[in-house]
Every structure is written in structure tokens, then in C-alpha cells.
A = this chain, B = another copy of it.
């Protein structure tokens, strides 16, 4: 039986904040549905070269009190990046906590505005160790 992956869906409390966050990572909006009657929006965002691998953001206009403050069961979304130091600097400059800094030039973890864990992995070989990352401590969990 044929099966194809479509998307990973995340419920979000603040759509604009979350879209800003995924834009920082480099994702682009590929599709958007605003449903007046159901009072919800669905926004699909994907890496520019992978429109077939979107995250679907579900936003209920009147709030979503059922959402837990953490999302450990979910695990994470993972993205490969061209330069992990540049990406972490960009996120840091925008006020995002680098929970697991890329001390090894290879891997970092951050959280979305809804505390969804996001893994970042360096493309190809690890980069040479570089401050301030190589001596930066972890913050919280991810």
C-alpha cells in the first residue's frame, strides 16, 4: 500500500511569534488557510528547497487552553543548517535562548515560542570549536 509523508503539525498559541521563529530558521510559508467559521488558521512552512517537508502550524483564534507548557513527548523537529554558528547567532540576536549551544560545532537545541524542541545539525563535518559557543553552558532542557 502506498504511503507518503505530508507534514508534522504543531498547535501554537501565538501564530505570529511562531511564524517569526520559523522564518528565523529559514522556513517559508507555502500554504495558508484562514477559516472564519471554525475560527482557526493553518499555516504550512517549509525549507525553500523542500516544499514537500512542511511543518503545519495550527492556531485557534480563541486560544487553546489544552496545550501543555512543555512538549517532551513530542520529541523535536530537526533541521540541517549550512553554518550552525551563524544560525545560533541569528537566533540569539533575536532573543532566542540557545538551550544546548553548539560547543562541538555540530549540534544545538532551541525551543519554539510554544516550547517545542528544535534540533539543529551542522551540514557536513563539524565546524572547528569557536567562542562564545565552545564555553557556553546549557540552559534548561530541550
Listed in ascending order, the chain A residues whose CB lies under 8 Å from chain B are 1-11, 25-27, 46-50, 52-53, 56, 58, 66-68, 70-83, 86-87, 90, 114, 116, 119, 121, 123
Contact assessment for A79 and B25 in the assembled complex, using a CB-CB cutoff below 8 Å: no
In the bound complex, residues from chain B placing their C-beta under 8 Å from that of A10 are 73-75
In the bound complex, residues from chain B placing their C-beta under 8 Å from that of A78 are 5-9, 56
Nearest neighbor of A6 in chain B, beta-carbon distance: B78
Contact assessment for A53 and B5 in the assembled complex, using a CB-CB cutoff below 8 Å: yes
Contact of A80 among B6, B27, B116, B123 (CB under 8 A): B6
Interface of A (DSSP majority class):
mixed
Nearest neighbor of A58 in chain B, beta-carbon distance: B75
Contact assessment for B119 and A11 in the assembled complex, using a CB-CB cutoff below 8 Å: no
With A3-B27, A46-B5, A47-B4 known to touch, is A11 a contact of B72 (CB < 8 Å)?
A: yes
In the bound complex, residues from chain B placing their C-beta under 8 Å from that of A25 are 3
Nearest neighbor of A72 in chain B, beta-carbon distance: B66
Contact assessment for B2 and A26 in the assembled complex, using a CB-CB cutoff below 8 Å: yes
Nearest neighbor of A80 in chain B, beta-carbon distance: B4
